Copies of this chain bind each other. A is one copy, B any other.
Amino acid sequence: MNQEELIQDTFRGIFEAELINEIAAAARLVPFKEGDVLIEIGRYIKTMPLLITGAIKIMREDFDEGELLLYFIEKGDTCAMTLACCAGDKKSEIRAIAENSGLVAMVPVNRMEEWMGKYKSWRAFVFESYNNRFNELLSAIDHLAFMHMDQRLLNYLREAAKVNGTHVINKTHQEIAYELNSSRVVISRLLKALENEGKIKLNRSNIELSGSPT
């Protein structure tokens, strides 16, 4: 599939034809692979990413050491964080890392403001994105404030399985510990407990989710 077709395909049904054409004309398609840092904390953002395929994880970092996964972004989404940065010319407050390989359409920031006045569907999309991101942040807050680590862990595994389209999660205990801002020993301990409850199966460097194979 060429660039034109990919973009048509992704945004058909979301935007009016005219806007899709504008996007196709303005966008530059950029492939990425697992682990790529797409947005770094403290950097200004000059082009807005629209996710075509793949998944991206949004991380928050403590001022001295800690790190925390906020949420995943999937196909057709964009990062409202980025929207805010573009609109306000602010530095990024978050880091975006590719969870797996995929493709983003990069659109120059100045088109955004233009489309805001011009296309109702674009405004709706922007609001929808904001709303989704808001809810994901709220969800992150709920997890942190109201849930214990074992629940957060299980939840994390399910989310990771979902965005990777598999029930096998290829991550080490150490990696999971980073994303949940915990320690490897604690994660190993809780994983073992989950295994004993029959909810997961542990292998070296990967974890199988039992039941509900997404």
Contacts and interface: CB of A to CB of B under 8 A. Distances in A.
Nearest to A113: B123
B68 A131 contact: no
Interface residues of A, number: 37
B87 A131 contact: yes
A17 interface: no
Interface string A124-154: 1001101101110110111011100000000
A13 interface: no
A5 B163 CA distance: 52
A75 interface: no
A108 to B, nearest CB: 17
B181 A145 contact: yes
Given A131-B87, A131-B88, A134-B81, A140 B141 contact: yes
B146 A66 contact: yes
A199 interface: no
12 contacts: A60-B142, A60-B145, A87-B131, A90-B131, A94-B138, A116-B123, A130-B130, A133-B134, A134-B134, A137-B138, A144-B144, A146-B181
* 8 nearest CB pairs, A to B: A87-B127, A144-B144, A84-B131, A62-B146, A137-B137, A68-B145, A66-B146, A88-B131
Interface of A: 60, 62-63, 66, 68, 70, 80-81, 83-84, 87-88, 90, 93-94, 113, 116-117, 120, 123-124, 127-128, 130-131, 133-135, 137-138, 140-142, 144-146, 181
